[in-house]
Amino acid sequence: MKVIEHIVNAKNPLISFELIPPKRGGDIKSLLAVLDEIIKYNPPFIDITSHSAEVIYEETPKGIKKKVKRKRPGTLGICALIQNKYNIEAVPHILTKGFTREETEDFLIELSYLGIENVLAIRGDDSGYDKPIPEGRSKNTYAVDLVKQIVDMNHGKYLEEGLLDARASNFCIGVSGYPEKHFEAPNLKTDILHTKQKIDQGAEYVVTQMFFDNKIYFNYVDKCLKAGIDAPIIPGLKIITNKAQLQTIPKNFYINIPDELSDEVYAAKPEHVMSIGVEWATKQVEELLNKNVPSVHFYIMLDSRPITMLMKRLKLF
């Protein structure tokens, strides 16, 4: 079932999750343990992040050597596992950065073979590696270009014309939204117009960047509606679990952490921080659900502990 169908047909609150693949050469057991824990909460879908190649510097006997690697491969395999073992809709992230349009088309075809019909189309983070584009290949520059490519495939239009027996794909396309604006946008108004372009091109729902103040989300939704965006806007949440995140989250995601939350975390003993983060997220979820949001989406990486604590407090399951 498509994500948009889950949202439209939902009779109870929907809680979805986003996971990250293990590092290159790592053990998938940690991810399986997380999956075994979160499926208790009946997620309608689970997102799996995707990662392009990046520059890595390694020390060798001959000195420092620059290599280009994908630190977290495995998105396709994990999605196949979620879809076919756990019978939960898998939503792989499709990136513009680090991939040619031809590579993207191949990846989408493989997803279609597996019966995966939901994707999240995003530009992706700057990995520090500007991949050279071979002659005869092309690339998508922005997420809206990627949405167009997927929509074209849904209409049976592939990069190579005249393919024999080429069938139209059937992807439901989600895109990202930024309640505090994308860091490259000059202002929120402009950023929302970019989001509207993605919806107008064929995307069906929006998942927001994490936020810690619900007023920011409600303001964002109101502005999106006024701009003509009528697609569901799913709030994305993150649970603070350690003090270091007070620096890393604003630095990496360009968002604000409210004074009340940061002050409480700074003053707490390290072993109490997760409980503070869970309590804060609990209040966020309760208010969001009371306002009838279409779903709540949690960025959990590979740690299910805070989600388990949260669910016990919410008593939804």
Q: Which CATH class is domain 3-314?
A: alpha beta
Structure tokens at 185: 């946008």
For residue 20, the Cα-to-chain-centroid distance in whole angstroms is 9
174 Cβ contact partners less than 8 Å away, ≥ 6 residues apart: 3, 91, 118, 119, 120, 121, 203, 204, 205, 206, 207
What is the pLDDT averaged over residues 122-137? 69
pLDDT at 54: 53
Q: How far apart are CA 54 and CA 129, in angstroms?
A: 5
Q: How far apart are CA 126 and CA 133, in angstroms?
A: 16
* pLDDT category of residue 317 using cuts at 50, 70 and 90: low
Please name the helix (run of DSSP H) or strand (run of DSSP E) that holds residue 161, with its range, or none.
none
CA distances from residue 90 to 6, 80, 117, 196, 255 in whole angstroms, order as listed: 13, 8, 8, 25, 27
Tell me: the pLDDT tens digits for 76-116?
999 999 999 999 999 999 999 888 999 999 999 999 999 99
Question: Beta partners for 303?
Answer: none
Tell me: the pLDDT tens digits for 34-91?
999 999 999 999 999 986 655 555 555 555 655 555 566 789 999 999 999 999 999 9
Q: Show me where the domains of the chain are located.
A: 3-314
Q: How far apart are CA 317 and CA 253, in angstroms?
A: 31
pLDDT at 180: 97
Place of tokens 């109101």: 222
H helices within the chain, ranges in order? 3-9, 29-38, 75-85, 101-113, 143-154, 188-201, 214-226, 245-253, 259-267, 273-290, 305-314
- The pTM (predicted TM-score) of the whole model is 0.90
Tell me: the pLDDT tens digits for 207-265?
999 999 999 999 999 999 999 999 999 999 999 999 999 999 999 999 999 999 999 99
Cβ-contact 190, 171 below 8 angstroms: no
Q: Which range (14-28, 129-143, 182-196, 301-315) has the least confidence?
A: 129-143
pLDDT at 316: 72
Q: Which residue, among 44, 5, 308, has the nearest Cα to 170 in the 3D structure? A: 5
